[in-house]
């Protein structure tokens, strides 16, 4: 599948809007795109045509070699992420192969990253919504949060804040995930996987 190299990339951090959810495990996608926005010197603004906040800029080397990116935080709640992401895809004319979902992943240990293209949703409501809206052929940067302890229901676990022990390393892991997104966009999936899939 050939894709216009000059087409922008759409990096969608998945999460739930509002201060009550800000520190939740489910919101790690928002944390990663917040850091990317900081790196490119942008601040999120509400988009006129989509239920999302966006920052436009470039990632990679300065000048024309840098890749155009749209960083997005859907403001629709996690299980409806597909609507805003599809609206942004259409508005910015982004090929599906240039869409990256950054999200929490239960089946990976805390802080471990896995980058992939396509695949199932593994019960993740944000991915389920995106795949229903546009098919599965977008990139994923999966940020491991591990399984809930004991018999804690998954829904409770993902909507809790990271533990104090986890928070000691959270900034480092979010930083690494942001590096992985940049590598994916500028160097391609295989190189980014080789560097960051642990």
- Decide: residue 21, CB within 10 A, 0-12 exposed, 13-18 middle, 19+ buried: middle
- How many Cα atoms are found within 13 Å in the side-chain-facing hemisphere of 116? 13
Question: Cα separation of 169 and 90, whole Å?
Answer: 37
What's the DSSP call for residue 163? P
Active site (annotated) includes residue 103: no
Q: Pick the catalytic residue from 26, 47, 103, 124.
A: 26
- Decide: residue 121, CB within 10 A, 0-12 exposed, 13-18 middle, 19+ buried: middle
Catalytic residues: 26
């Amino acid at each position: 599948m050939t894709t216009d190299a000059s087409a922008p990339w759409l990096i969608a951090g998945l999460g739930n809007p509002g201060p009550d959810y800000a520190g939740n495990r489910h919101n790690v996608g928002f944390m990663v795109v917040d850091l990317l926005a900081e790196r490119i010197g942008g601040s999120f603004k509400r988009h006129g045509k989509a239920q999302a906040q966006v920052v436009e800029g470039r990632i990679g080397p300065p000048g024309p070699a840098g890749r155009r990116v749209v960083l997005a935080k859907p403001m629709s709640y996690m299980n409806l992420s597909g609507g805003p992401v599809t609206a942004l895809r259409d508005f910015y004319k982004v090929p599906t192969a240039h869409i990256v979902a950054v999200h929490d992943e239960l089946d990976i240990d805390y802080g471990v990253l896995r980058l992939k293209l396509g695949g199932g949703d593994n019960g993740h409501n944000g991915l389920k919504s995106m795949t229903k809206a546009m098919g599965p052929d977008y990139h994923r940067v999966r940020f491991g949060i591990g399984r809930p302890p004991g018999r804690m229901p998954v829904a409770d676990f993902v909507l809790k804040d990271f533990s104090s022990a986890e928070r000691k390393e959270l900034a480092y892991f979010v930083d690494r995930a942001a590096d992985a997104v940049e590598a994916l966009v500028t160097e391609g999936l295989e190189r980014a996987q080789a560097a960051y899939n642990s």
